[in-house]
Chains A and B, each alone.
Chain A
Amino acid sequence: MLYMHARAVGGPTSGASTMELVVTGNAVRELRVAKNLSQGDLAAALGVSRQTVNSIETGRYTPSLALSIALARFFGTTVEEVFHVAER
């Protein structure tokens, strides 16, 4: 499970309550294997190191929004299909 927290808080006049999201996992490894790619292949396609792909797959690193979108686009899906989040 990833412990990256994203907090969306309503503005002072919005009256919205705090919504805290937790990244609980991702499907990067499954999507990569389904495409018959190595971690190195995916890393080269995304312009990152193989270590970074490994860290994302094992949940040790949560990528930036830009890299998350790049991952989703590479696999032809959405960010939320790649990264699983839950509300705390």
Chain B
Amino acid sequence: MSQSDSRAKGRGRVHRGVFWITPAVAVAGGIAYLVASVLGGHPVLGVVLLLMMLAFAALLVLVAQHSETVRGLMDHRDERIAGIDLRATALTGVVLSLAVIAGAVVDLERGRSGTPYTWLAVVGGVTYIVSVVVQRVRQ
């Protein structure tokens, strides 16, 4: 096997691994919901939430078999769809940031402390700065 063949095979493994990240996160989230709900005294709610997350994960895998876009979003093999995913993620981050700031403003206006919105804003801000620094060093 040539070096390039070996690299190509390696990339295939990476893509297959990446494909399962979103369904795995959905399943892990469902299990976390179940555990938290049982501990909180609402086991039925936990089971319902777990089933919903399992159904979402299964739906993703199923749709990915038929949709190039969904498959591309999951395996990041297609650079154009990976770019679309990146821009959509960035826009989602901007909208969430605005929602967090709005939540903090409303909470402060009502005479409360602004938490947890202010802490979420801190997490978002620090994450952005660290990300910029890391990307700047790497590129």
- B78 CB to nearest chain A CB (Å): 5
Q: Is the CB of B68 within 8 A of A64?
A: no
Whether A50 contacts B79 by the Cβ 8 Å rule is: no
Contacts of A50 in B (CB 8 A): 68
Q: How far is the CA of A64 from the CA of B71 in the complex (A)?
A: 20
A24 within 8 A of B: no
Q: Are B80 and A55 touching (Cβ within 8 A)?
A: yes
Q: What 1/0 mask marks residues of chain A from 41 to 72 whose CB sits below 8 Å from any chain B CB?
A: 00000011111100100000101101100000
CB closest residue in chain B, given A67: B79
Number of interface residues of A (CB under 8 A): 12
A50 CB, nearest partner CB in chain B, Å:
6
Q: Evaluate contact between A64 and B79: CB separation under 8 angstroms.
A: yes
Is B69 an interface residue when CB atoms closer than 8 A count as contact? yes
Q: Tell whether, in the assembled complex, residue B77 and residue A47 are in contact, meaning their CB atoms are under 8 Å apart.
A: yes
Residue interface mask B42-77, A partner, CB < 8 A = 1: 000000000000000000000000001101100001
Interface residues of B in 58-105 (CB under 8 A from A): 68-69, 71-72, 77-81
Query: Which residues of chain A are near B72, meaning CB under 8 Å?
Result: 49
Residues of B within 8 A of A66 (CB): 79
Closest to A62 in B: B80
Task: Kindly list chain B residues whose C-beta atoms are within 8 Å of the C-beta of A67.
Answer: 79
* Chain B residues whose C-beta falls within 8 Å of the C-beta of A55 in the assembled complex: 80
Q: Is the CB of A52 within 8 A of B81?
A: yes
Is B77 a contact partner of A52 (Cβ separation < 8 A)?
no
A2 to chain B minimum Cβ distance, whole angstroms, is 14
Q: How far is the CA of A66 from the CA of B69 in the complex (A)?
A: 21
B residues touching A (Cβ–Cβ < 8 Å)?
Answer: 68-69, 71-72, 77-81
Q: Give the 3 A-B residue pairs with the shortest CB-CB distance, closest first.
A: A49-B68, A52-B80, A49-B78
Q: Please name 8 pairs of A and B residues whose Cβ atoms are closer than 8 Å in the assembled complex, sorted by A.
A: A47-B78, A48-B77, A48-B79, A49-B78, A51-B69, A52-B80, A63-B79, A63-B80
